[in-house]
Amino acid sequence: MTATTTGRSTGSGDARPAKPDRAKLKGRPRERAKKPRLTWRVRLRRDRTLILMTLPALVLIIAFNYLPMFGTVTAFQFYDYISGFFHSPWAGLGNFQQLFADSNFWHAFENTLVLSLVQLVLFFPIPIALAIMLNSVLSAKLRSFIQAVVYLPHFFSWVLVVTLFQEMLGGAGLLNHILRLNGVGVWNVMSDPNTFKYLVTAQAVWKEAGWGIIVFLAAIAAIDTSLYEAAAADGAGRWRRIWHITLPGMRGVIVLMLVLRLGNALTVGFEQFLIQRNAVGSDASEVLDTYSYYYGVIANNYGLGTAAGLFKGIVSLVLVLAANKLAHFFGEDGLYRSSK
């Protein structure tokens, strides 16, 4: 209750100092349009409740986002538990030398890029196609039912998704049971390193492709329907309308999604790989994130793990900026635009 009353007094406080200024300006109509700028003290007093409200989030962000950012100094240290960030001995670029000399690291880097590329090619078009197909379903009830079903796996955990795949495709799963019954050999998809990249892509599609259509559906819904009507009158068939109206109408969103995807190219399903690492081995499933985890947390080499993380962070940042430039080059908004 006290909070309410303080809020009230500050609320009315912002009008008062403005009044005399206005009266003074009356004789000079040219400058009247310009609002007198309040001093920062007044503004701080007026908005202190608002600032107070952001404090809890700010504290959490500083503790768990900014402090770790500062903690990247670990990459240049021989970190040890007792001395912490501040007193651990400096290693210079030693951790990076060790990192770049490690063939496992380059292998993880290569895996990350390959997996990212495979996912880009095989995953990316699916939500677009699904959205176009779903949009062509006439019955509103059926549409919302299908949406409800395809969105659902997005809310499952990776442990759950991998378990479901294991029960369907794993060594003791349904697929192999059917293969055995028909006398065909056993093919344990879940632990086959050669096909692992397609397996994880299939899992990602199963889990996220449905959710991915939301953005594209919204983009389609924003297209002016009279365009379709005019095209139909001009004799354009169903497929040509998709090619010449729907897809160009979705262009901005598609480019945006590509930019986001490229910016995240070094982030490929961390949990997903960690969970399946025991099954397929580290050779196929090691990516930059898991490398950082295993060398940092498990092998206790914090400096090396952080160095790998920092490397990933810097490359990712460059990728985001580059992808955004590319989007501007194609005349789209991309992720952000420098404000004028």
What is the footprint of another protein within residues 25-64 (CB under 8 A)? 40, 43-44, 46-54, 56-58, 60-61, 63-64
- Give, as ranges, the residues between 207 and 246 that touch another protein (CB under 8 A): 210, 214-215, 217-219, 221-222, 225, 228-229, 232-233, 237-238
Closest CA to 280 of 197, 339, 209, 202: 197
SS3 assignment, position 91? coil
DSSP secondary structure, 15-80, as one string: TTTHHHHHHHHTT-GGGTTSPPPPPHHHHHHHTHHHHHHHHHHHHHHIIIIIHHHHGGGGGGB---
Contact mark string toward another protein, 167..186, x via CB under 8 A = xx---xxx--x---------
Q: What 8-state DSSP symbol labels residue 297? A: I
User: For residues 262-301, which are near another protein according to CB under 8 A?
Assistant: 270-271, 274-275, 278, 289, 292-293, 296-297
Contact region for another protein (CB under 8 A) — 16-24, 96-104, 111-119, 129-137?
129-137
For the segment 132-151, give every residue that binds another protein (CB under 8 A). Answer: 133, 136-141, 146-151
Q: Does the footprint of another protein cover residue 326 (CB under 8 A)? A: no
Q: Burial code of 235-260, b = ≥16 C-beta within 10 A, e = fewer?
A: ebeeeebbeebbeebbebbbbbbbbe
Nearest distance, CB of residue 130 and another protein, angstroms:
7
Q: How far is the CB of 51 from another protein (least distance, A)?
A: 6
* Residue 105 found at the interface with another protein (CB under 8 A): no
Q: Which is nearer to another protein, 46 or 107 (CB)?
A: 46
127 vs 119: CA distance, rounded Å: 13
What lies within 8 Å, CB to CB, of 198 at 6+ separation is 118, 122
Q: Closest separation between CB of residue 296 and another protein, Å?
A: 4
